[in-house]
Chains A and B, each alone.
Chain A
Amino acid sequence: MSKIWGAMLIISIAVAIFTGNVETVVSSIMTSGQNAVENILGLVGMMCFWNGLFNIFEKTSAIKTFSKFFSKIIGKLFNKKELNEKAVEYMSMNMASNIVGIGNAATVNGIKAIEELQKENPKKDEPNDNMTTFVLVNTASLQLIPTNIIALRALYGSSSPSAVIFPIWIVTAVALIFGIVSIKILNRRM
């Protein structure tokens, strides 16, 4: 990230000097600084609201009902021999939290799950197939309702902010299928 960010700024400044409009550099920094503040202020309310709502959800039994459904999928996607009961439990909680969009809970359960998977892993410095598959599933965005995106679209005047939900589901599904197929192939070769 440092390299990309640094390159963005340095290239911009170099082009500005080269083309002779050096004043734009300083004025752009000022305007964009203001923009950044406006952007974040517009988002604060919605982010707080959804976080508050998901905090309620997290403390109810609904999340457990949800995660039971995932333990069935896990049995099909992963190698059962190297899977203990706790790992399945944490993995399903991780997926359920991802689906409803509780990022913090997803991370906590994800870490617990990978610790359980590591216990069944014979080579400690190299991930086994279950671990690579689990991490891959986590790099996919499983979130059912992309609240931040919808909030942003509403903020910038979309006529139908939630119209992206359906396309986002399709795109997520495509990405997940490509990802799982790739990891299953790569697991055999690498």
Chain B
Amino acid sequence: MNFIVMCIIPIFIATILIVGLKEKKDIFKLFVEGCLEGLKMVYKIFPYILAITVATYLLKSTGALDFILIPLRPLLTKFGIPDDIVPLCLMRPLSGGASMSVVMDILKTSGADSVSGKMAAIIMGATETTLYTITILFGAVGIKKLRGVLIAGLIADASAIITAIILVNIGVI
């Protein structure tokens, strides 16, 4: 099972290259052009990373996070939710860049294979920046009434977070 999962990415890469060559595309040029786009993306998200890294670091180092989590403490321990996951859950629907940097911070301080590291990776990978997506798509056609979209999107996010926490706690990963 693990071997199959590990094969997915290399096979995927090889398939793309083979299809590209078969259709006589200039795959090297396309690759380099795409890389440049990637670099621009990094350039664009860096300010978010900096803003949120500073803020989350301050919350933790000053002890403010412990203070905020006091009322939630019984709930967190009961359901096996690590403290550092809470800021991620709050930020995930609002900002992709910000939540990405929270995930980085969790992986760095707690470790990629720790309980919170796994939860953070799954939550980040299985959800989208709900608010941003709604704004872009409805914004493009000038719609301001949202009807049920926001609520349904947040229900989906919440169910993703809960499922991720359960999966890690029962040891699926």
- A138 touching B128 by the CB < 8 A rule? yes
Asked if A79 is at the interface of the complex by the 8 Å CB criterion, the answer is no
Whether A36 contacts B53 by the Cβ 8 Å rule is yes
Provide the A33-75 mask, 1 if CB < 8 A to any CB of B, else 0: 1011001100110011111111111011110000000000000
User: Contacting B125 at CB < 8 Å: which of A33, A138, A146?
Assistant: A146
Query: Contact at A8–B59, with CB atoms within 8 Å?
Result: yes
Q: Which of A29, A44, A152 has the most CB of B within 10 A?
A: A152
| Contact call A8/B58, Cβ cutoff below 8 A | yes
What is the interface of chain B mostly: helix, strand, loop, or mixed? helix
Which of chain B's residues 120-165 have a Cβ closer than 8 Å to chain A?
A: 121-128, 130, 133-134, 136-138, 140-149, 151-153, 155-157, 159-160, 163-164
By the criterion CB–CB under 8 Å, are B156 and A28 in contact?
no
Size of B's binding interface in residues, CB under 8 A:
101
Q: Interface extent on A, as a size class?
A: 35 or more
Nearest Cβ in chain B — how far from A102, in angstroms?
10
Which of A124, A127, A175 makes the CB contact (< 8 A) with B156? A175
Contacts of B32 in A (CB 8 A): 52
List chain B residues, Cβ under 8 A from A1: 94-95, 98
Select A174's contact among B31, B61, B163, beta carbons within 8 Å. B163
Contact A162 B121 (CB under 8 A): no
- Whether the pair A107, B136 counts as a contact (CB closer than 8 A) is yes
Q: Roughly how many angstroms separate A77 CA and B21 CA in the complex, as a whole number? A: 36
Residue numbers in A under 8 Å from B153 (CB-CB): 135-136, 139, 179
With A19-B63, A47-B41, A164-B173 as known contacts, state yes or no: A179 contacts B138, CB within 8 Å: no
**Closest Cβ–Cβ distance, residue A63 to chain B (whole Å):** 10
Is residue B77 within 8 Å, beta carbon to beta carbon, of the partner chain?
no
Q: A36-B54, A160-B6 are in contact. Are A149 and B125 (CB under 8 A)?
A: yes
Q: Is residue A167 contacting chain B, with contact meaning CB distance below 8 A?
A: yes
- Taking CB atoms, residues of chain A closer than 8 Å to B15 are 62
- For A167, give its contact among B46, B98, B151, B167 (CB under 8 Å): B167
Q: Are A152 and B38 in contact (CB under 8 A)?
A: no
Q: What's the least CB distance linking B118 to chain A, in Å?
A: 7
Q: Is the CB of A111 within 8 A of B42?
A: no
User: Are A138 and B137 in touch, CB under 8 angstroms?
Assistant: yes
- The chain A residue sitting closest to B98, CB to CB, is A1
Write out the residue numbers on chain B whose beta carbons fall within 8 Å of the beta carbon of A135.
133-134, 137-138, 149, 153
Answer yes or no: A85 CB below 8 A from chain B CBs: no
Using CB atoms, name the residue of chain A closest to B41: A47
Docked Cα-Cα span, A53 to B149, in Å, equals 33
Partner of A153, one of B52, B121, B133, B141: B121
Residue pair A149, B121 in contact (C-beta under 8 Å) = yes
Chain A, 133-149, CB within 8 A of any chain B CB: 134-136, 138-141, 143, 145-149
List of 6 A-B pairs having minimum Cβ-Cβ separation, nearest first: A186-B148, A55-B34, A51-B38, A179-B156, A32-B57, A158-B112
